[in-house]
Amino acid sequence: MALPVLLFLLCFFIIAESNLFLFDRIVQLPGQPQVGFQQYSGYVTVDEKNQKALFYYFAEAETDPASKPLVLWLNGGPGCSSLGVGAFSENGPFRPSGEVLIKNQYSWNTEANMLYLESPIGVGFSYSTDTSSYEAVNDKTTAWDNLLFLQKWFVKFPQYTNRSLFITGESYAGHYAPQLAELMLEFNKKQNLFNLKGIAIGNPVLEFATDFNSRAEFFWSHGLISDTTYKMFTSVCNYSRYVSEYYRGSVSPICSRVMGQVSRETSRFVDKYDVTLDVCISSLLSQSKALSPQQVADNIDVCVEDETVNYLNRLDVQMTLHALLVGVQRWTVCSNVLGYELLDLEIPTIPIVGRLIKAGIPVLVYSGDQDSVIPLTGSRTLIHQLAEELGLKTSVPYRVWFEGQQVGGWTQVYGNILSFATIRGASHEAPFSQPERSLVLFKAFLEGRPLPEAF
């Protein structure tokens, strides 16, 4: 081979090694409006032997990405997609609308470089060639895989190494985020790689019994169940007992009767993730296993979940995203192949939040106040109890905060490091149902400043 060719190949591989992110660059998503920021998506292999590969989507900040922090977003489930739910339904730059994408003017990449991770393996486009590994996924393996992902992702994107890093997410991310953050702190004792600046988790599962048993009062106070059923739901069989029995495959007759009564009164035509607004009827009627049809204010598409599924199952979209379907026929919002260890749900993560605060990591817990799945009352109780245990004094008394000229929610801050906030009128997926208010909250969190107390 001629010397010039050898030199060319050598230069090519050197450049390729130092610019791995270029191979994952998205030129333009099908149907996408013109934007001025860069997008990337692809895979990071976290286990070479079993070819465990996690899929990510990365949207750089709209302006001056070099000065903006890096934010990792994790959806919950466990087993639901941060790409389809987080990026394309909640706080990403685009929303599907028919055959095209429309710009989300309240995208979180207006304030940060947003990294969406489909985790754990078996979720969305993430996969393993050893499908038996899907049955061995739990909190511990998920946390380690997510840590390995970030380590290797920084090899692809070395310009983001040591950038201010925030972990965000919702629901079961109440497990994912604190567990990953604690692993980062342990890793940093040997190699200072992660410049972790804080975590923010919405409607999170932090302590199984407190979070789940607050559902009964929420149902009753919003008129979804009767006085008689409320009494049964709080004395005869509460929700944490029912879930515990269900996951162990042994639901008692008394719990079965109580839950049957609760289900009849609340109705399948009310979305438990947002009890006040309309449901997507076409989605509800077509699902034999109802996940949670989206529902939001009039200016947002209530059937965006259906449109996201259609969009991400287009071959041209998958090719542009550099995405593969391995072991499955279709991309789904929540995994059909993942066998997560559901009893991990009962492991409290509120003690981990306490250890993070002791280590100096700011934590924000926020709640969409129309969510009955993980109601605000449970989260508020847990955060107040934690503040008392840590000896944190109230630095911002419980008060309203504003978005524009309207009340955006309520907030309380302890010791300038632990914060609780509600988002008024928001669902379990707060950035989806109240995008503008969620963006105000997110911006204040990144900047470490109080939520607006006046308009």
pLDDT, tens only, 130-143: 888 898 899 999 99
Looking at the DSSP bridge assignments, the partners of residue 103 are: 94
Structure tokens at 24: 């994952």
pTM, entire model: 0.91
For the stretch 361-404, pLDDT in tens is 999 999 999 999 999 999 999 999 999 999 999 999 999 999 99
pLDDT at 286: 39
**Domains (range + CATH), the chain:** 23-209+343-390 (3.40.50.1820), 210-303 (3.40.50.1820)
pLDDT at residue 136, rounded to an integer: 83
- Specify the pLDDT at position 63: 96
- Residue-level pLDDT at 83: 98
Cβ burial, residue 370 (10 Å; 0-12/13-18/19+): buried
Task: Give the pLDDT of residue 282.
Answer: 58
165-195 pLDDT tens trace? 999 999 999 999 999 999 999 999 999 999 9
**Could you list the active site residues?**
171, 371, 428
Q: How far is the C-alpha of 206 from the C-alpha of 40, rounded, in Å? A: 32
pLDDT along the chain (455 residues), means of 10: 49 48 90 96 93 96 97 96 96 94 97 98 95 90 97 95 96 98 96 96 97 96 96 96 94 96 92 84 44 35 78 97 94 94 96 98 97 96 98 97 96 97 96 97 97 90
Residues 155 and 19: their CA atoms lie apart, in Å, by 9
SS3 for the chain is: CCHHHHHHHHHHHHHHHHCHHHHHEECCCCCCCCCCCCEEEEEEEEECCCCEEEEEEEECCCCCHHHCCEEEEECCCCCECHHHHHHHHHCCCEEEECCEEEECCCCHHHCCEEEEEECCCCCCCCECCCHHHHHHCCHHHHHHHHHHHHHHHHHHCHHHCCCCEEEEEECCHHHHHHHHHHHHHHHHCCCCCCCEEEEEEECCCCCHHHHHHHHHHHHHHCCCCCHHHHHHHHHCCCHHHHHHHHHCCCCCHHHHHHHHHHHHHHCCCCCCCCCCCCCCHHHHHHCCCCCCCCCCCCCCCCCHHHHHHHHHCCHHHHHHCCCCCCCCCCCCCECCCCCCCHHHHHCCCHHHHHHHHHCCCCEEEEEECCCCCCCHHHHHHHHHHHHHHHCCCEEEEEEEEEECCEEEEEEEEECCCEEEEEECCCCCCHHHHCHHHHHHHHHHHHHCCCCCCCC
